[in-house]
């Protein structure tokens, strides 16, 4: 986005947040009202999530436009609320909806980029459902998020088991990066609390894939295993699910870990059931 647009967007968001805050006073109980600052943050997040966009005219006339945009924000909020049974569908941008937006999520699947510094000799991996041969994924752990009370590399490796026990595929750690199909590493992504990790989309083929865990996140053993299973799901060709209770659900679910029913059906469709 050009600098002038960023400034115009910030001005517009600030104007909308102020109006929303006044509007909220009548529709939300005392204590349930987010501050103007929180609303600004929330509107930014709606934009990031692709639920809200502004056009050039709206950007050039923030004062007049923001009235109309209150409707757009309400629509975006409704769309978000509709996507989850956790929220009440009322179109009101209150604390409950804001807190949901702040739950950590996956940065998502990225298109393939070549990874510098690594010569790829890895074998090409393709799903072979129904075959008696099982393709073997080799993963290389360059770095893993630090855990205080458990072995991080063990957790990062165990993430593969959740999938391979269901499908016609094996995964094995390699200590030689040049023969790896998947490189696992930590990098500072976006600071603690928001995005946990990301991965290249699959399913594999002859490309070297990468999983990145956010180095700045405060990791627990459960959170790390959860994120690992989710990201490997992307590597294996799965997209995000709209249904909580699936590991491919976009947002982190602190009370859930493992592979859900929908995940199981989707992964078996690609790789075939393990026999
Ligand atoms: Zn994801």
Report how far ligand 1's centroid is from the alpha carbon of 178 (Å): 26
Total domains in the chain come to 2
- Judgement on whether residues 92 and 112 belong to the same structural domain of the protein: no
Report how far ligand 1's centroid is from the alpha carbon of 247 (Å): 9
CATH number, domain at 258?
A: 3.40.390.10
- Judgement on whether residues 164 and 95 belong to the same structural domain of the protein: no
Report field, pTM of the whole predicted structure over 0.85: no
- Judgement on whether residues 212 and 115 belong to the same structural domain of the protein: yes
pLDDT 10s digits, 126-176: 888 888 889 999 999 999 999 988 899 999 999 999 999 999 999 999 999
Report how far ligand 1's centroid is from the alpha carbon of 62 (Å): 34
Report how far ligand 1's centroid is from the alpha carbon of 33 (Å): 30
- Mark which of 46, 80, 102 sits at the end of a domain: 102
Residue 116 is predicted with a pLDDT of 52
Report how far ligand 1's centroid is from the alpha carbon of 40 (Å): 25
CA-based max dimension of the chain: 66
Report how far ligand 1's centroid is from the alpha carbon of 199 (Å): 7
pLDDT 10s digits, 205-222: 777 889 999 999 989 999
User: What are the CA-CA distances from residue 41 to residues 14, 93, 98, 251, 272 (Å)?
Assistant: 10, 12, 9, 18, 43
- Mark which of 47, 79, 102 sits at the end of a domain: 102
User: How far is it, in rounded angstroms, from Cα 98 to Cα 96?
Assistant: 5
Report how far ligand 1's centroid is from the alpha carbon of 234 (Å): 7
- Judgement on whether residues 130 and 67 belong to the same structural domain of the protein: no
pLDDT 10s digits, 3-44: 567 777 888 888 889 888 888 887 777 667 888 999 998 998
Report how far ligand 1's centroid is from the alpha carbon of 148 (Å): 25
Report how far ligand 1's centroid is from the alpha carbon of 227 (Å): 9
């Amino acid at each position: 986005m050009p600098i002038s647009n960023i400034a115009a967007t910030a001005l517009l968001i600030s104007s909308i947040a102020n109006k929303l805050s006044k509007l909220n006073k009548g529709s939300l109980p005392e204590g349930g009202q987010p501050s103007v600052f929180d609303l600004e943050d929330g509107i930014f997040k709606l934009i990031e999530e692709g639920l809200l966009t502004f056009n050039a005219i709206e950007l050039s006339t923030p004062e007049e436009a923001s009235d109309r945009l209150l409707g757009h924000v309400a629509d975006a909020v409704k769309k978000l609320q509709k996507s989850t049974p956790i929220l009440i569908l009322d179109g009101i941008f209150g604390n409950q909806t804001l807190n949901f937006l702040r739950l950590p999520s996956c940065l998502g699947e990225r298109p393939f980029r070549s990874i510098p510094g690594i010569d790829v000799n890895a074998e090409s991996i393709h799903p072979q459902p129904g075959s008696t041969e099982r393709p073997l994924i080799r993963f290389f752990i360059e770095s893993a998020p630090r855990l205080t009370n458990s072995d991080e590399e063990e957790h990062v490796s165990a993430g593969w088991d959740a999938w391979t026990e269901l499908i016609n595929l094996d995964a094995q750690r390699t200590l030689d990066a040049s023969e790896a199909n998947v490189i696992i590493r930590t990098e500072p992504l976006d600071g603690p609390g928001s995005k946990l990790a990301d991965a290249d989309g699959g399913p594999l083929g002859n490309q070297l894939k990468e999983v990145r865990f956010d180095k700045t996140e405060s990791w627990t053993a459960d959170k790390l295993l959860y994120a690992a299973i989710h990201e490997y799901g992307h590597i294996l060709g799965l997209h995000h699910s709209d249904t909580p209770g699936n590991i491919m659900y976009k947002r982190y679910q602190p009370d859930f870990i493992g592979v859900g029913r929908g995940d199981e059906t989707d992964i078996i469709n690609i790789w075939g059931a393990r026999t």
